[in-house]
């Protein structure tokens, strides 16, 4: 039986459980020791430069602000100590922002020691599991963690408690054109739509379908069907039957081409319907051919 992965991931668990992240001997002089939960002045907390979230919905932030005004902070933020009474936010930026809007001057915080790589990992995992990042923010965060911390998809998947295929699907979104990434970010299309569009080799086809999704509200299933049709090669048997011309047609094509001194194309389906195409390369050649036909 397959065991369920830890939602926090082994990487974060190791950070939180390691003595290097919470022993008091790591403390940098100040009012509070590392490992403590204490009320810290908001103006002493610097924001996290590794914060993967780039957008905070105003309505959601307003609701959290009102909740804090009425009930206070239920879950402390997490900070690392960087100097004498100086702290840097690891996770909980929504709570910190909402607390400022609520007029608080202090906020409960769990004090830790973490290096930059650990801060990025902790901020990423805390946001993925708790703060509803959009798919592009998650994708960028995964890519950044892989690039800056030099970890493979397998290691990353283990650390954040996700399947490798899930991580791969997120990272593939970054290969899409900017217009589609923006549509994902703005929730104009779903990740299901995006995954279908990724399999199209031509950017023009991707953007055409994007416009149709937005204008007509196409479902994921409709988009997947459309993509399959574009990716499906034409039926070889049918094409072969259409390309076969009776011998008399072949002779006519040869004679016309010789008489008009240009390339002639003749197509005919099984019911006897078709068309004749006469090629020309200039206005002069067009006039020449017309004069021969009259």
Residue 22 above 80 pLDDT? no
* Chain segment 147-193, per-residue pLDDT in tens: 766 778 888 888 778 888 988 999 999 889 888 988 998 889 998 99
- Active site positions, annotated: 93
pLDDT category of residue 243 using cuts at 50, 70 and 90:
low
Residue 195 above 80 pLDDT? yes
CA-nearest of 162, 144, 167 to 8 is 162
Domains in the chain (CATH in brackets) are: 9-160 (3.90.1530.30), 176-231 (1.10.10.2830), 243-293 (no CATH)
Q: Give the orientation angle of helix 153-160 with respect to helix 9-17, to 10 degrees.
A: 60
* Chain segment 208-232, per-residue pLDDT in tens: 999 989 988 889 999 998 898 888 8
Q: Are 52 and 86 in contact (CB under 8 A)?
A: no
What is the rounded distance in angstroms from the CA atom of residue 30 to the CA atom of residue 131?
Answer: 31
In a 3-state reduction of DSSP, which class is residue 291? Answer: helix
Residues ≥6 apart with Cβ < 8 Å to 228: none
CA-nearest of 226, 201, 198 to 212 is 226
* Chain segment 42-55, per-residue pLDDT in tens: 999 988 776 656 56
Of 123-127, 136-140, 214-218, 270-274, the range with the highest mean pLDDT is 214-218
pTM strictly above 0.85: no
Q: Which pLDDT score, from 0 to 100, does residue 173 have?
A: 92
Q: Are 261 and 293 in contact (CB under 8 A)?
A: no
Segment 103-113 mean pLDDT: 86
In angstroms and rounded to an integer, the radius of gyration of the C-alpha atoms of the chain is 32
């Amino acid at each position: 039986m397959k065991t369920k992965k830890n939602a926090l991931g082994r990487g974060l668990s190791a950070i939180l459980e390691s003595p290097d992240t919470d022993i008091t001997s790591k403390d940098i002089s100040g009012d509070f020791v590392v490992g403590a939960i204490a009320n810290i002045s908001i103006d002493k907390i610097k924001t996290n430069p590794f914060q993967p979230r780039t957008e905070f919905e105003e309505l959601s932030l307003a609701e959290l602000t009102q909740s804090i005004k009425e009930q206070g902070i239920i879950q402390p933020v997490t900070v690392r100590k960087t100097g004498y009474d100086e702290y840097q936010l690891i996770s909980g930026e929504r709570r910190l922002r909402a607390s400022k809007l609520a007029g608080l001057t202090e906020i409960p915080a769990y004090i830790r020691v973490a290096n930059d790589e650990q801060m990025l990992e902790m901020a990423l995992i805390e946001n993925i599991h708790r703060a509803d990042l959009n798919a592009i923010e998650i994708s960028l965060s995964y890519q950044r963690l892989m690039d800056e911390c030099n970890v493979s998809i397998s290691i990353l998947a283990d650390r954040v408690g996700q399947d490798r295929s899930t991580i791969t699907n997120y990272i593939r979104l970054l290969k899409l054109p900017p217009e589609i990434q923006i549509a994902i970010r703005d929730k104009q299309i779903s990740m299901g739509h995006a995954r279908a569009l990724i399999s199209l080799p031509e950017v023009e086809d991707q953007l055409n379908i994007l416009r149709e999704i937005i204008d007509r509200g196409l479902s994921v299933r409709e988009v997947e069907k459309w993509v399959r049709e574009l990716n499906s090669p034409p039926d070889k048997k049918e094409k072969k039957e259409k390309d076969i011309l009776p011998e008399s047609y072949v002779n006519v094509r040869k004679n016309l081409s010789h008489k008009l001194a240009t390339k002639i194309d003749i197509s005919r389906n099984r019911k006897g319907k078709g068309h004749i195409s006469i090629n020309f390369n200039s206005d002069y050649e067009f006039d020449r051919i017309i004069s021969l036909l009259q």
